[in-house]
Amino acid sequence: MGICSQPPTPYGQEFMCVLNFLIVVVCLFLEKKILRLEHFLVVPSEMSSLSGKVQTVLGLVEPSKLGRTLTHEHLAMTFDCCYCPPPPCQEAIAKEPIMMKNLYWIQKNAYSHKENLQLNQETEAIKEELLYFKANGGGALVENTTTGISRDTQTLKRLAEETGVHIISGAGFYVDATHSSETRAMSVEQLTDVLMNEILHGADGTSIKCGVIGEIGCSWPLTESEKKVLQATAHAQAQLGCPVIIHPGRSSRAPFQIIRILQEAGADISKTVMSHLDRTILDKKELLEFAQLGCYLEYDLFGTELLHYQLCPDIDMPDDNKRIRRVRLLVEEGYEDRILVAHDIHTKTRLMKYGGHGYSHILTNVVPKMLLRAGVTTKTYECIRVIAQTERLPSQFPPPLLDQASVVAL
């Protein structure tokens, strides 16, 4: 079913939902200013009678059951598309299995070690880390693996069943380097059909449904195939009312170009997440200019602290302290309703099993540091939970506990 044919019953305006995935309502920055990190909700149009639910890999869930939610993570994927061959003098260490003696080298050269790029080999370790995430107050995450980097919805379903963590799978396609010849040959209408089918009926040949579109991969410069996927993304979103998550190319101009293409194709930018801003827009003035476009601003590389960023050596990757300062800047400029944070774990060495920070880093380390830097006492801090269409109730918790994910149905 293409964009010119009759779609399934679309969402009415009253059923279009936005998932306020509240990861961390983390601090009172200045004079009790609230930092609220909001996300989105998708509801299948064929089940409008159950509007206001979140579509996870196990089915529909009441928003109030989500808990603290990370909006950009990976649990089962491969990242061979970004392999960077090591220099000849380091080929031997690059072929060794991950061990304590070479862990430092692999952490600094993550994309030059092929085994490190096979996150899908660590299902049992990830299961343990999700249990730890849950024990530390985590409740849900959005798994952003899409076609091209080995999405595995069956594994996601098993992890959700065995850990009790709510997992929302993403529909769509990663960057051009992973597009098959069949994908490149598809029209915008055909690509739209694929995206809608993955949300309405199931992905990867299963009945397991995706709950968001994304992450949609974009390179710099953008390729023609990626542009078609963006246009299809906008068309599918227009029919479904679902959220979209974008992986921008590694240029400060890329997010602006992507938003323009989405707008021209009919997307709802207020329901669009621009990921990886911590490595994409580094200039403050440019960041504030982009923030005015109205999309969600995602700082999703928390825990990544590198002297040398292999995928784009010209980028000086910020550390977590700088990320916190940027979040504070955005709050002070009035964008507290547009901020999202996550880790984007996609290699083995970012797992706790291999000495990494794991999926609990924001809850256990980042939030307390935000409170400390903001000069807030550890007695209480205010957070807001949206519990109904218009009803908002304040709740207070001692750090580092956080309020549940906020959901608003429009």
pLDDT tens for each residue of 321-336: 999 889 888 888 988 8
What's at 226, amino acid-wise?
Answer: E
R_g over Cα of the chain:
20
pLDDT reported for residue 34: 28
Residue 260: name the closest of 281, 246, 280 by CA: 246
Gap between the Cα atoms of 232 and 238, Å rounded: 10
Q: Is 72 annotated as a binding residue?
A: yes
Helix (H, G, I), strand (E, B) or coil at 13: helix
Residue type, 111: Y
In the chain, the amino acid numbered 134 is: K
pLDDT tens by residue, 213-263? 999 999 999 999 999 999 999 999 999 988 999 999 999 999 999 999 999
H helical segments located in 292-378 = 320-332, 361, 367-373
Query: What is the chain's mean pLDDT, rounded?
Result: 82
User: Does 247 carry a binding-site annotation?
Assistant: yes
Model pTM?
0.83
Question: Any bridge partners for residue 213, and if so which?
Answer: 171, 244
With bands split at pLDDT 50, 70 and 90, how would you rate the model's confidence at 62? confident
* The pair of three-digit structure tokens given for residue 177, joined into one six-digit string: 């380097």
Please give the pLDDT value at position 48: 54
Whether the per-residue pLDDT at 44 is higher than 90: the answer is no
Lowest mean pLDDT among 219-228, 308-317, 376-385: 376-385
Question: Looking at the chain, how many residues does it have?
Answer: 410
* pLDDT recorded at residue 63: 81
Per-residue pLDDT band for 144 (boundaries 50, 70, 90) equals very high
* Range of weakest confidence among 7-11, 31-35, 43-47, 126-130: 31-35
pLDDT of residue 328: 84
Do 195 and 213 meet the contact criterion of CB atoms below 8 Å apart?
A: yes
Lowest mean pLDDT among 348-352, 359-363, 395-399: 395-399
pLDDT of amino acid 38: 37
**What percentage of the chain reaches a pLDDT higher than 70?**
78
What residues pair up with 396 in beta bridges, in sequence order?
382
